[in-house]
Amino acid sequence: MLIKYGVSAGFASLGSAKNCMLASSAVLRRQQFLIRSLGGYSDHTNQERMQEIRSMSGTTLEADAENVLREITPVLDPTRHKGQAGKIAVIGGCREYTGAPYFAAISALKIGADLSHVFCTKDAAPVIKSYSPELIVHPLLEESYSISGLEDEEKRHISSKILTEFDKWMKRFDCLVVGPGLGRDPYLLECVSKIVKHARQSNVPIVIDGDGLFLVTESLDLVSGYPLAVLTPNVNEYKRLVQKVLSCEVNEQQAPELLKSLAKRIGGVTILQKGKSDLISDGEIVKSVSFYGSPRRCGGQGDILSGSVAVFLSWARTKRKSVDRSPMNPTVLGCIAGSALLRKAASLAFENKKRSTLTTDIIECLGRSLEDICPAR
């Protein structure tokens, strides 16, 4: 069953009937705007999409994303110390991909986390360090090529040293992002599987993205039944997940229902299905973030999203411990906030840069986008 808007939002600030009506009309206006903005396209898929959005109006999925952002973003309190606004670690970065972990880790800082670490392969580390002095970069992981020629016993020894080293850090993190630019090397992925298992034992939330999704699609047990796991698949990653778990093809017509079944089947993990609209489900409710971002599809936007979700999820968990005003799962709140902020920043960047908009331009707009919604004072 899809949750009706206003009941699902559940924030105290939306508690009165009057406020609910105001909020509903704001959502309707947003949907009408979205329908208008899609109206310029004539291809079949977009016609279907318009129909889908119209049919959502009765039982609207659209999250009240700005309110979510306001609710979970902490005030800048001078009594707080370094680390209290979030300590994030990205596990990713290999010989091919150094941009993805950088985008995820720097986005976390730009939003407001205090510390952002990257655990990557030895070869990728100097490159990632050279992008930014703000990141703490650990040249920890090994790929098969760097240990080729070693005996199996030695390989096992290296793998256990990597795990021991990571364990020293793990409990300090509020959230891990596993996968941006991780690559698919079997030795490296085996090591990362062990890291995920340890993180889970320690109840550290984990956002799984990029090649991390390749890993968990092959080994669902890693996340199955873990409520602090968030999966952020793009269109391909989602197709693979649906085929593996539900043994069927993706059906655009029943996207919310399919997503909810998938999240439920993986034991109540939260899934953020990226696309024209971002759809989010924890197996209980489904929410969407649909307002228009940018028509540029440059690589790296999903990496911004995974770093952002990690920060907002951590903030939502902290807020829940202190006030507990929202009945929504903190992982769902983190996804709504991350998706909304990325789309707003992409839209701002596109206003300025048009066709030449790149991921770094979007990252530069994260701060202003959040500031517009939650002024720092």
Ligand X SMILES: NC(=O)C1=CN([C@@H]2O[C@H](COP(=O)(O)OP(=O)(O)OC[C@H]3O[C@@H](n4cnc5c(N)ncnc54)[C@H](O)[C@@H]3O)[C@@H](O)[C@H]2O)[C@@H](O)CC1
Nearest to 242 by CA among 226, 225, 227, 261: 261
Residue 318 binding ligand ATP, by CB under 6 A: no
Within residues 147-176, the interface with Mg ion by CB under 5 A covers: none
Map residue 267 onto helix, strand or coil: coil
Within residues 199-228, the interface with ligand ATP by CB under 6 A covers: 210
Residue 93 binding ligand ATP, by CB under 6 A: no
Q: What's the Cα-to-Cα distance from 56 to each of 50, 132, 266, rounded to whole Å? A: 10, 43, 25
Residue 302 binding Mg ion, by CB under 5 A: yes
Nearest to 342 by CA among 20, 103, 149, 80: 103
- Picked from ligand ATP, ligand X, Mg ion, none, the partner binding residue 293 (CB below 5 to 8 A depending on kind) is ligand ATP
Beta bridge pairs of residue 88: 116, 175
Query: What gap in Å lies between CA 212 and CA 192, rounded to an integer?
Result: 9
Query: What gap in Å lies between CA 50 and CA 44, rounded to an integer?
Result: 10
Within residues 337-356, the interface with ligand ATP by CB under 6 A covers: 339, 342-343
- In the complex, least distance from residue 16 CB atom to ligand ATP, rounded to whole angstroms: 32
| Residue 270: other Cβ atoms inside 10 A | 28
Beta bridge pairs of residue 136: 117
Single-letter amino acid, residue 156: R
- In the complex, least distance from residue 208 CB atom to ligand X, rounded to whole angstroms: 11
Query: What gap in Å lies between CA 244 and CA 76, rounded to an integer?
Result: 44
Q: Which parts of this chain interact with ligand X (CB under 6 A)?
A: 97-100, 180-182, 210-211, 234-237, 299-300, 302-303
Out of 101, 179, 256, 300, name the contact with ligand ATP by CB under 6 A: 300
Single-letter amino acid, residue 243: Q
Smaller CB separation from ligand ATP, 212 or 330? 212
- In the complex, least distance from residue 207 CB atom to Mg ion, rounded to whole angstroms: 11
Within residues 253-292, the interface with ligand ATP by CB under 6 A covers: 274-276, 278
Query: What gap in Å lies between CA 183 and CA 205, rounded to an integer?
Result: 22
- In the complex, least distance from residue 92 CB atom to ligand X, rounded to whole angstroms: 7
Q: What's the Cα-to-Cα distance from 196 to each of 166, 294, 304, 330, 354, rounded to whole Å? A: 11, 33, 21, 20, 39
- Picked from Mg ion, ligand ATP, ligand X, none, the partner binding residue 278 (CB below 5 to 8 A depending on kind) is ligand ATP
Residue 92 binding Mg ion, by CB under 5 A: no
Query: What gap in Å lies between CA 359 and CA 365, rounded to an integer?
Result: 10
Name the strand (E) or helix (H) holding 140. strand 136-141
Smaller CB separation from ligand X, 143 or 237? 237
Residue 305 binding ligand ATP, by CB under 6 A: yes
- In the complex, least distance from residue 261 CB atom to ligand ATP, rounded to whole angstroms: 21
- In the complex, least distance from residue 179 CB atom to Mg ion, rounded to whole angstroms: 8
Name the strand (E) or helix (H) holding 22. helix 17-39
Number of H helices, E strands in the chain: 15, 9
Within residues 231-260, the interface with ligand ATP by CB under 6 A covers: 234-235
Smaller CB separation from ligand ATP, 146 or 234? 234
- Picked from ligand X, ligand ATP, Mg ion, none, the partner binding residue 99 (CB below 5 to 8 A depending on kind) is ligand X
- Picked from Mg ion, ligand X, ligand ATP, none, the partner binding residue 341 (CB below 5 to 8 A depending on kind) is none
Sole window of 11-19, 187-195, 299-307, 317-325 interacting with ligand ATP (rule: CB under 6 A): 299-307
- Picked from ligand X, Mg ion, ligand ATP, none, the partner binding residue 343 (CB below 5 to 8 A depending on kind) is ligand ATP
Contact between residue 52 and residue 137 where contact means Cβ atoms under 8 Å apart? no
Contact between residue 87 and residue 109 where contact means Cβ atoms under 8 Å apart? no
C-alpha 335: how far from its chain's center? Answer: 6
**Contacts with ligand ATP, residue ranges (CB under 6 A):** 210, 234-235, 274-276, 278, 293, 297, 299-303, 305, 339, 342-343
**Contacts with Mg ion, residue ranges (CB under 5 A):** 210, 302
